[in-house]
Amino acid sequence: MIDTTSPVARDMFGVLSDGRAVERVTLRGSNGFEARIIAYGAALQALVVPDAAGRCEDVVLGHDDLEGYLGKRSFFGATVGRYANRIANARFLLDGVAVHIAANDGPHALHGGPDGFDRKLWQVAGVAAGAQPAVTLRYVSADGEEGYPGRLEVSVTYGLTGPTELSVSFEARTDRPTICNLTNHSFFNLEGSASLSDILDHRLTIAADHFLAIDPAAIPLSEPPRAVAGTPFDFRSATTVGERIRRADLQLQNGRGYDHNFCLDEADELRVAARLEAPRSGRILELLTDQPGLQLYSGNYLDGSVQGKQGRLYRQSDAICLEPQVWPDAPNRPDFPSARLAPEGTYRHQSVYRFSSRGVPR
């Protein structure tokens, strides 16, 4: 049972086959806003958000029990690493030395390889109550895990930094040069994860003038970023996700929809990267991040083979992912922002998910 009175509650979400317990921590804000985080994959298991009428619903896809997360790998709400997104041919040069990592997407590496951070049991390292409840989870990735060099000590902190605002902050340190690129992989449907509607009518704005064109394997092409102007990738003003998603466009064909990195203005501080609005509930999500890229994924590979919360089968475009990160395949592209992490440095990444609502016309 989850304590419904305290700003922080802890309960048992399940037990792994080796007997290790998987804890869940619930952070509670105002007006019914709450985030539930599980130690398996350091994942956001639920995010309950009020709508314009004050009705609270979970707005992220996932599972009601641990068994769902242990089944088909879907990255629902997970902390993804050691390298989020793709690395071409599962290899890269680091300080002039070839590094070969585990492939799991044909010949390429995706989201850390076949046994990435989303498949690990993290330690609940600290919980803070009070006006801004938070939980910190930690994981130590051994030198050579999935082929990556260096022992990497990683932490992620989920905190409620406003009445309806969730902050996700990552830190990592290494004992030898390596690469690091972490993100949260939540699937959002602002009408509610139990709704029968898709996200094609959600209005999306992305603060990016350029995106990365990809080949059919979703690897960035060997060309500079393309301008979004005049393409289906122009979300500089609010546009419904579905307005251009079925156009005869080679990039949409290669991604089976949107599965592309948008190139944000480089900054070392938080700035608004995207805004998502749901037409019926009136919920609004503003995403702020300090990362150089934002991966837009329109749920193209949800095919009804995964049973999620309340027994619902998840299908294409049932949710949308907005993943702040370094650009895909950056370790092979010196013209991209760098993902290199040295022992004297600290990897840091902060993203804020700020929710509000507007009146819905009747």
List, by residue number, the catalytic residues.
Answer: 185, 323
Distances (CA, A) of 193 to 298, 320, 344: 15, 11, 42
Element (DSSP H or E) covering residue 66: helix 66-70
Closest CA to 187 of 317, 20, 38: 317
State how far the Cα of 232 lies from the Cα of 244, in Å rounded to an integer: 6
* CB 334, CB 325: distance < 8 Å: no
State how far the Cα of 321 lies from the Cα of 258, in Å rounded to an integer: 10
Radius of gyration of the chain (CA): 19
* CB 113, CB 147: distance < 8 Å: yes
Closest CA to 121 of 43, 10, 41: 41
Closest CA to 46 of 180, 226, 193: 193
As given in the structure block, the two tokens for residue 152 are: 């990497």
* CB 116, CB 80: distance < 8 Å: yes
State how far the Cα of 188 lies from the Cα of 314, in Å rounded to an integer: 12
Q: Tell me how far apart the terminal alpha carbons of the chain are, to the nearest angstrom.
A: 38
Question: Beta 293-297 vs 259-264: how paired, if at all?
Answer: antiparallel
Distances (CA, A) of 157 to 16, 24, 154, 167: 23, 14, 10, 8
Q: What 3-state DSSP class applies to 94?
A: strand
Q: What 3-state DSSP class applies to 225?
A: coil
Element (DSSP H or E) covering residue 235: none
As given in the structure block, the two tokens for residue 164 are: 């309806």
Q: In 10 A of CB 330, how many CB atoms?
A: 25
